[in-house]
Structure 1
Amino acid sequence: MDSKRGLFLVICDDPELASTLVHIQKNMDIKVWVPSKCGQLQTSLIDACEDSIHKEALVKGDVTKASFFSQWKEYKPICVVLSLKDIEKYSNIRELILTELPDARILSLQIGRPEEVPRKLIDNDRELVLSWTELLSRPISAELRHIESSHRVKEVRDILDGGDKIALLLQPDPDPDGLASALALRALLGRNKVSTPIVTFGKVTRPENLAMLRLLDLEVITIKPDDLSNFDKVALLDTQPTHFTVTLPKVDAIIDHHPMTGNYSDIPYCDIRSKYGATSTILTEYLRAAAVNIGQRLATALLYGIKADTLHLNREVIDADLYAFISLYPDINYNLLRRMEKPELPMRFAPVLAHALTSMAVKESILVSYIGEVEREDLIPQVADFMLQFEGSEWAVCAGIYENNLVMSVRNVGYVKNAGDVVKRIINGWASGGGHRTMAKAIFPVEGWKERYGNLNPENIKATVLNLFIKEAL
């Protein structure tokens, strides 16, 4: 039993429904009620579910007894799917759930048309009631995410609302996904930029991100790690403590979609979903579950966050990203979105790109370039993006010097090794970095690089980077 994963408890008298639900829910421990007495329902439920889940997930018992539910109290969160044709039995069991599992969320499925069984949230949003007809009109997984998000919204509010001043901390060079997520969390908490500022240890550098700040009137404050002690609460958005080169003095919440890179069991609130394409998707689900109005400015930011981190929905997306995108699209400002996506590039970028392309080192399917010292860090990933377009390339790595660090941007085609995993093996704990399957970033202190790999001669750097990726990526 893994109570930290949460419990997904199915109580229904329809074998097909039970089978469908256990196929969908993958993130929580699944338990399916089976009548203790032998009979047709017991046999049908076992036959429908036993090929999809372990036998111990089929729980025999009497659901009319309080003891059946009290045994699950250690789980957090708990989602109970309740669907029974016997109305009296349904009502009695529902009362037992409310009494014995006071923190549980309930998804009640009832027979009837939407007009006969209108969608509604009851008991302080603990229970979502909807008809079978409406359920079939959109995936069950969306309803389950809504239930889970309702629980998470209450939890993160309870943890963060206790602070008068809250820091929303992003990575050193904040991107659209992080910026949008911070703006969304601030809206979810009902805060303003004075009491809940967006902060970073670096600064926004990429032109499209600077355009986002300007067009959406966002303010990002640069602070030092020690400054976090001036805040009552600290929430990390689109990043994790291990992504930083320093130890953070305090962290109260993490909301991120990158692969988990540390043990965060001591952090009060942690919602890391590596299957999601963007943290903005997670925050969109929070806002929908909490019935928070998403205005044009916030909708534009969130949709841009999703587009930017998923390359226009072409990379690492799941149905949740698509639903969030579709729900936000009608409310965005299209003109602002276009201006953020296509910011002007300075002419001085042209010789940088030309130098990178003429100095590439190539081995098998790996392309490596070094563009020297740059005044803007965003030039490095832009070159890497461009390099991956060459025929036969599967890996593109661009390195450059920015503010006494050797910064490496990594891109791949998606069907090779995970870029984030490869970078983690390369940095091996002495530098910082991470990423996803198809894109990653590493930051090496210049002095540390020279100690391990020699001088900063361009040819030496390219050869070193190429050898590192031949060893770890092929």
Structure 2
Amino acid sequence: MILIIGYGSFGRKVVNYAKTMDKVVVIDKNASVFDSLEKVDFTYVIGDASEKETLERAFIKDADTILVLTNEYEINKKIAELVSELNPKGYLIVRGIVKYPELYSGIKVNKIIYPIECAAKEVIHEIEKSKLRRKLMDLEEVVMNVKIRHHNNISENPKTAENSENGNGDNKVPFLIVMHNNPDPDSIASAMALKRIMEKWGVDSDITYGGKIGFDENKAMINLLGVKLTHIEDINLENYAGIAVVDASSSKVLPIDTNHYKIDIIIDHHDNGDLTANYMDIRPDIGAAATILTEYIIQLNMTPKQDLATALYYAICTDTNYFKRKTSKKDFEAAGYLQDLMDPKTLEMIENPEMDTETMDVLAKAIINRKIIRSSIALSYVGMIKNRDALPKAADFLLKMEGITTTYVFGISENKIHISARTKDLRIDVGDIMKRAFGGGGHQNSAAASIDLGIFESVSDKDSLKKLVEEAIQTKILEAMGIEESSGGEKPKAEQ
């Protein structure tokens, strides 16, 4: 909650900005200042803010940010003294008077501002800093409580330390940082950053994942940056007192049973979550979880080492598709901060790894087997595959064909049909198409889905299986796109 004291011309400007960020409560002793408002979309209290009763009516103890903006400097001083007493944890911003530089001497004031025309925006920046500061205070509190819980558990059960199965004989690892299945650069970098932050607070942690590390770029990132990860199958969850989840807030994508294991921390930028935790920072307006962790690092005055800076920078770039996908101002700011700290040579090696033989084979099959619908949509079945991460590369590759604006590449692996979609047509949302057609999902310009092979599993003839799968997937995709099958398509080049 943001408490603003003083609703004069300057206070109104601040309120107009602040009410888009959080609940706002305004105090002013003059009731008439609110009479001219056509629509009141904030709470206000009429009274003298230099009196304890007025501040309590405005829920002073619930405010994380308090702004004292009246134009009566002696009254402002009294209010600041009282606010410091009633809410010592609040971030206190006060209006200053140039000719009285010592006005707030001896009072715990976080920021003194001077009401020039641009001051309102400066105040908003300070509010954002105060909120981030409070978030990190809450995060540290959760982390330290888990550490205490962990030490108490060892004291009560001394044999626990002796029987540790996670490779740490003294069982000094209170936290497990969990990434989503088949982690991407954003989850890897975010986990690295959270681990470094916990280290700053004197708390050890391990990083785990489910599925596999796919894509040559992801493997290169881990190898070149020396990221230490442990697969969930090699983790004994009972050895950890706390669990943190990064770049995910949905139980469907995690390698742990969230009904059995309590989650303490969630940091994410997706809005499809079903999980709760003691600490949650979920911001769907941000393009990458790595941006949130970079904000944390800056606020904590930590200068990330080159490996972490490179990881975070690459994560922001990939999750925003190099700032071509949904991107916020904070993503640009975070990337700008990291750009001078990361290693360009290592980044280039990560972005351009060697391509394995199977991926090249899948690319070849995608080209040969392509079907063209309405001159701009390419669909291609690549058959049985071992590495499903080759599918998005093939979908990206087909998108480079002249006249092609949307691609769907699909293949079979582990009794499932995997589909990868890409588009550069702003009128098409492949994330929505994958969701409606197969229950998958993704972004407007890139998406994926996996479905059980089902009745097709009993088909042993490869040609028959190919025909059935192609027809079924194509029908579903075109139906979701609102295209009738009769529109036809170009035959694969191999059949012409």
Q: Which interval holds the TM-score relative to the shorter structure?
A: 0.7 to 0.9
Secondary structure in 2 aligned to 1:396? strand
Counterpart of 1:381, as a letter, is P
Q: Which residue in 2 is equivalent to 1:3? A: none
Distance 1:192 1:80 in 2: 28
Residues 1:340 and 2:340 are matched in the alignment? no
Distance 1:448 1:80 in 2: 63
Secondary structure in 1 aligned to 2:340? helix
Distance 2:94 2:347 in 1: 39
Distance 1:448 1:100 in 2: 68
Q: Which residue in 1 is equivalent to 2:264? A: 252
Give 1 or 2 for the bigger CA radius of gyration: 2
> Match for 1:105 among 87, 91, 94?
91
Distance 2:21 2:428 in 1: 24
Runs (5+) with no aligned partner, structure 1: 1-6
Residues 1:231 and 2:240 are matched in the alignment? yes
Which moves more between the two structures, 368-377 or 223-232? 223-232
Q: Which residue in 1 is equivalent to 2:382? A: 371
**Larger relative contact order (C-alpha < 8 A, sep ≥ 6)?**
1
Q: What CA deviation, in whole Å up to 9, does each residue of 1:24-43 have, x standing for no partner?
A: 653422344444432xxx26
How much has 1:220 moved relative to structure 2?
Answer: 1.4
How much has 1:148 moved relative to structure 2?
Answer: 1.6
Q: Which residue in 1 is equivalent to 2:136? A: 153
Q: Is the 8 A contact 1:77 1:103 kept in 2?
A: no
Q: What CA deviation, in whole Å up to 9, does each residue of 1:351-382 have, x standing for no partner?
A: 31121133234445644333233332321121
Residues 1:462 and 2:447 are matched in the alignment? no
How much has 1:473 moved relative to structure 2?
Answer: 4.7
Q: Which residue in 2 is equivalent to 1:415? A: 426
How much has 1:398 moved relative to structure 2?
Answer: 2.5
How much has 1:470 moved relative to structure 2?
Answer: 3.5
Distance 1:134 1:104 in 2: 26
Counterpart of 2:447, as a letter, is A
Counterpart of 1:80, as a letter, is I
Q: Is the 8 A contact 1:359 1:369 kept in 2?
A: yes
Residues 1:289 and 2:283 are matched in the alignment? no
Distance 2:203 2:86 in 1: 42
Residues 1:381 and 2:388 are matched in the alignment? no
Distance 1:203 1:147 in 2: 39
Residues 1:316 and 2:310 are matched in the alignment? no
Distance 2:415 2:433 in 1: 23
How much has 1:403 moved relative to structure 2?
Answer: 3.8
Q: Which residue in 2 is equivalent to 1:168? A: 177
Distance 2:422 2:98 in 1: 51
Cα root mean square deviation, aligned: 3.7
How much has 1:110 moved relative to structure 2?
Answer: 4.2
* 1:140–1:102 distance in 2 versus 1, CA, 3 Å: closer
Distance 1:440 1:112 in 2: 56
Q: Is the 8 A contact 2:379 2:408 kept in 1?
A: yes
- Map of 1:77-116 to 2, 5 A cutoff? 78-108=64-94, 110=96
- Map of 1:147-226 to 2, 5 A cutoff? 147-161=130-144, 162-163=146-147, 164=150, 165-190=174-199, 195-224=204-233
Counterpart of 2:133, as a letter, is S
Counterpart of 1:95, as a letter, is E
Secondary structure in 1 aligned to 2:205? coil
Distance 1:449 1:184 in 2: 44
How much has 1:291 moved relative to structure 2?
Answer: 1.9
How much has 1:289 moved relative to structure 2?
Answer: 1.7
Q: Is the 8 A contact 2:287 2:316 kept in 1?
A: yes
Counterpart of 2:283, as a letter, is R
Counterpart of 2:471, as a letter, is A
Distance 2:132 2:456 in 1: 43
Q: Using structure 1 for the length normalisation, give the TM-score.
A: 0.80
Counterpart of 1:469, as a letter, is I
Distance 1:459 1:193 in 2: 59
How much has 1:106 moved relative to structure 2?
Answer: 3.6
Distance 1:109 1:160 in 2: 35
> Match for 1:440 among 447, 463, 469?
447
